[in-house]
Structure formats: C-alpha cells, structure tokens
Structure 1
Amino acid sequence: MCDQHDDEPFIVDTSLTRRSALLALSAVAATTALPDAAFAAQVVETDVLVKTADGSADAALFRPAGRGTWPAVLLWPDILGLRPVFREMGRRLAARGYVVLVPNPFYRTRRAPIVTGPFDFGDKVAMGKLMVLKATLTDARIDADTGAFLHFLDAQRQVDRRKGAGVQGYCFSGPFAFRAAALRPDRIRAVATFHGGGLVSKEPGSPHLLIPKSRAAFLVAIAQNDDRNQPDAKDILKASFAAARRPATVEVYPADHGWTVAGSQAYNEPAAERAWAELLRLYRANLR
C-alpha cells in the first residue's frame, strides 16, 4: 500500500502477527500445492544493522538454512515499512533459494515498525504524517541506501556473487527497484514491481526513463485501479522496454492497489499467488 489510492479509503492491518501471517501463508502454500508450506523451518532469519552514509539502517536478513550460496535479493517494503507481513515475504522467498534483505526505508527517522495497528489511508492526519516521512527519501538517499544494501548483501558469505541479484518494490518503492537497476546494471539482473506508484511521470527523473541504463529483465504488475487512473502508463512502459531492448512483462492484474500485501483491505489471494509465481519465474530465469 502506498500514497496512491482510489477515492474509497484503504485500511491495512499492520499488526498482523508473525504467527498469523505464517499460518495464512502456509495455508496458501498448501492450497496451491507449493513446496514452501513449512518454509519457516527452512530459513535463518537475522535482524541486522546495515552501515549507510547516514548511519545504520535496521533490516531483516533471510537465507536458506544449511550450507551453500544463493543469489541475493533486495526487497523494498511498501510505504508502511518493515513489518511482519514483509518479514514473511522475505522468509518465504528465502525458502526458495535466495538471500533476502528487507530494510526499513525510514531508518533515519526511527526503527521499524513505523506503523503499528490498523492504518487508514483515508485518514488525512495519518496520511500527512506518512507523507512527511516519505519526503525524507530523496532520490539521492535512495540511491545511496541501495548501494549500501547491495554491498551488505554481497558481503554475506552465503551470497553467490557470480550470479545476478534481484530487486523488488511494492507501491511507493516500485521506483526504488527501477533506480537500483540503473544504479547497478553490473549487479541487478531482475526487477519486479507490484502495484508500483509513480513508475511513469512527466518529470525528468521519471523511473521509466532509467530503463535504458539497466541490464535486467523486468516484471511490472499493475493494479486495475491504478491502470484506470493512469491508463497510458502501461503502454509507455512497454514502449520504453522495447526501445531499450529489455525483456519485460507488463500486466494489469484484476485486483486493486495493494493486492499482494496480506492485511490490506485490497488483498486478493488468487492474484497475489499468481504474482508470486511470476516473481519466482523471473528469478529462476535470470538469477541462476
């Protein structure tokens, strides 16, 4: 969930506990015959501090249990930040053979969780506070943090640096993923965004203009209500990928903004699982 939404307010339950999130994801895995129903037992999770130009960012690091090396993935959370549901996403992805870092984007202001309890995107006071936090994340700061997070991942002995790295963003962090691909084309081989906000704009720094600087394959999953609000964005993205000769899947899902995040009012389990399957296909094809 991010600052882009329809007229009808969204409410997100950020208090989703680790146990309830695990049960929800395990049930989904069981019903879809995925082999990660017991993924928590297969993953080592560590709370870490990552040194950056502006201090130390708190983050969660996930890796498969046992000995070996695996590709790295930087998983940017949505605007509500590092919290249980994104920890579960990191854990679930790590169980499929990746070393995953989920940072707190707002570490300069406070440690995660930034928001606890239900969050109403229709609450103007609460949204105002969130926008103040968002304003602290300039492009320069995001780029510096991305560099620090990728450096941290590559310093982990469990990361296979011979293989490409992935980056994924949700809602307001969709542009962060595009920026990472342009910042480190030598390292990023796969980019995924889910209901990303602001991927196409008329500004000179629009994320879609960075595509030619990348060497990655892209997955851009667009919410149906975002598509209604900006119907030309998908076509601009497709044309930009084609012009840059970047392999990309750009698709509008029959689900609303925030559909991939459990606890969101817009959460759509079938669409979320299909998006998850597409993410795994992207990584298997480009990070192996």
Structure 2
Amino acid sequence: MCDDLTNNDVESYFRRRGITRRSFGKAGLGAALAAVLPIGARAEAVVEEKVKVPTPDGEADGYFVHPAEGRHPGVILWPDIFGMRPAFRQMGKRLAESGYSVLVVNPYYRTTRAQLIPDEAKTIDPELRKKIWPRAKELAGTLSPATSVVDGRAFVEFLDRQPSVDNSKKIGTMGFCMTGSYAFRLSADMPERIGAGASFHGGGLVTDGEDSPHRLVPKIKAGFLVAIAENDDERDPEAKVALREAFDSAGVPAEIEVYEGTLHGWCPTDSAVHNPAKARHAWNRALALFERHLG
C-alpha cells in the first residue's frame, strides 16, 4: 500500500538496477501509452474538458472525457496518492476511446487544486518522489472513508446529468493505490447504480476495522477486479484469501489476481515501478469487466 515501506521497495528497485534520474527519464515510459493501454475493439474520437463538480464540501475539479458522439456508460477514475496529473488524464482518455464517458477527479480538491506532479514530469523518478512524498502523505490524511462516499455520490450525480452518459446503464468506478478502497466503498453505498468496480494495487482492502472494505462486499452488486501487487501480497498474503471468501460468500463475481513480478504502483504509466506488460494485462481485464457489467 502507499507508505514508507513502499518507498523503500522503490529505492531498492532502483539501486538493484543502477538506474539514475537521467536514465529513468530517458526511458520515457509515458511515451509508451498506446502499447501499455490498448483501446477496445474500436477507437472513438473523444471530447475533453476541464470541469468543476459540485459536492457537499465545495467544488471538485476534474477532467471529463467522452466519445464525441452518442451516449455511453459513465466511469469514475480515482488517481493514486499522487493525485491528478497527466498520466491519469491520459488513462481516462484511453478509456474514453474505448467507449466510456470518464470523469477523472482531484481527490484533494478540499485542500488544493495544484498538482503534486508537474505536467512536464513524464515519470515520477526517485528524486521527484522523495520531494513530493511528505506533501502526498499530508494530503492523503485529509481524506477518509466518509469523504470518499460523499464525493463518489456527487460524481455519480454529475455523470448522470451529462448528455454523453447513458444513465440507463450502470456506472463503473476504478481506483489506484489508496483509492482502490474507494471503488469498494462507493459500490457498497450505491449498489443500484455502480455496476463494476476495479482496484489496482489498492491499499487497506482488508483490515481489522468494522468498516474494512472487504466487510462491505455483502452490500455490493457490482462485478469486481482486484489487481494485487506481488510485494503487497508478500506483506499480507491472507488479504487475497479474505477477499476471495468475502466475494464468494456474497455471490458477487470478482477476479482477484496477484500480479507476479510487480511492486505497489505498477499500473500508472508515470510510476517509478511501472510494469508495461502487467499494466497492459490489468487494463485489458478492466476493459473486459466493463464490457460485461456496463455494456
């Protein structure tokens, strides 16, 4: 999950490979977006816009992207702990090109509209990660299970008002890192509206708390994808077992997979530990999930 242990893993990863800031930036992982995030059966021309979404706590800034024609299922895309940035806008656009109306949100809107990651940063190299980590932890501390649900409801309402959204179809929600749990919480809170949920290297999905995400599964009607980083699984190997038992007991369809050879954070294209092959596999599984449950 998103913590100092993850940072230590990232630093070890770079030391083992002798990767420097210069060599990492030169790799240009962001440039491989098309290969990493395949489009579905047909590519749609899309319309992009910056939006402000009314919430009970103010206005959330977001990036809304959707096919230029027709009405399509809506999807909420929650960024990881480093927040809104080009990599997640690119991911939202890629999903829209596959036939979805996608809202990429700034989870920190109550505190700041500024990006932690500047637009010109193609990758979150070790030096940048070290610089922004204290602020990322501070911002993450301003959020809670309650705020994720309050915001999620507002985002669903926003999508349902858009002409490009087919509100006769259910909505999808996908979260990364700390927001992987948000997919669980919103799916449980709005089971009649959320049809598919996806968590990518999500943190804190199984805890001892009464409000642990895995304890919410009986309230969920959405199909689910839970993509787990190998090093997260090594730290808590029983989590996947508890998740499997929760989904099976509730009769909720779920694909739960540990992605061999991955470190926490492997999915975003600008991640220090991005794994293109495994990210492509996870993306394809998400597209299949949405096609089954939202199409």
TM over 0.5: yes
Q: Residue 91 in 1 paired to residue 93 in 2?
A: yes
Give % identity. Answer: 44
SS at match of 2:10: coil
Q: Which of residues 221, 229, 253 in structure 2 aligns to 1:223?
A: 229
Q: Which residue of 1 is the match for residue 149 of structure 2?
A: 143
Q: Aligned partners of 1:111 and 1:96: how far apart in 2?
A: 28
SS at match of 1:251: strand
Give ranges in structure 2 of 5+ residues lacking alignment: 15-20
Q: Aligned partners of 2:137 and 2:30: how far apart in 1?
A: 30
Q: 1:156 to 1:122 in 2, by over 3 A?
A: closer
Q: 1:124 to 1:42 in 2, by over 3 A?
A: closer
Q: Aligned partners of 1:141 and 1:34: how far apart in 2?
A: 33
Normalized against structure 2, the TM-score is what?
0.86
SS at match of 1:8: helix
* Residue pair 2:39, 2:94 contacting (<8 A) in 1 also: no
Between Structure 1 and Structure 2, the one with more helix by share is: 2
Q: Residue 57 in 1 paired to residue 63 in 2?
A: no
Q: Aligned partners of 2:114 and 2:153: how far apart in 1?
A: 20
Q: Which residue of 2 is the match for residue 9 of structure 1?
A: 10
Q: Which of residues 108, 111, 114 in structure 2 aligns to 1:109?
A: 111
Q: How does 1:1-288 map to 2 (within 5 A)?
A: 2-3=2-3, 5=6, 7-9=8-10, 23-28=31-36, 42-66=45-69, 68-116=70-118, 117=121, 118=124, 120=126, 126-254=132-260, 255-288=262-295
Q: Aligned partners of 1:79 and 1:23: how far apart in 2?
A: 22
TM-superposition CA deviations, 1:184-214 (whole Å, max 9, x none): 1010011111100110011111111111111
Q: 1:21 to 1:54 in 2, by over 3 A?
A: farther
* Residue pair 2:175, 2:183 contacting (<8 A) in 1 also: yes
Cα RMSD over matched residues? 2.6
How many residue pairs get aligned? The number is 277
Amino acid at match of 1:262: T
Q: Which residue of 1 is the match for residue 17 of structure 2?
A: none
Q: CA deviation at 1:34?
A: 6.4
Q: Aligned partners of 1:248 and 1:196: how far apart in 2?
A: 15
* Residue pair 2:170, 2:294 contacting (<8 A) in 1 also: yes
Amino acid at match of 1:63: H
Normalized against structure 1, the TM-score is what?
0.88
Q: CA deviation at 1:2?
A: 3.1
Q: 1:122 to 1:114 in 2, by over 3 A?
A: closer
Q: CA deviation at 1:127?
A: 3.0
Q: Which deviates further from its counterpart, 20-29 or 87-96?
A: 20-29
Q: Aligned partners of 1:275 and 1:124: how far apart in 2?
A: 27
TM-superposition CA deviations, 1:151-195 (whole Å, max 9, x none): 000000111111111000001100111001011101001111110
Q: Which residue of 1 is the match for residue 18 of structure 2?
A: none
* Residue pair 1:120, 1:126 contacting (<8 A) in 2 also: no
Q: CA deviation at 1:132?
A: 1.6
Give ranges in structure 1 of 5+ residues lacking alignment: none
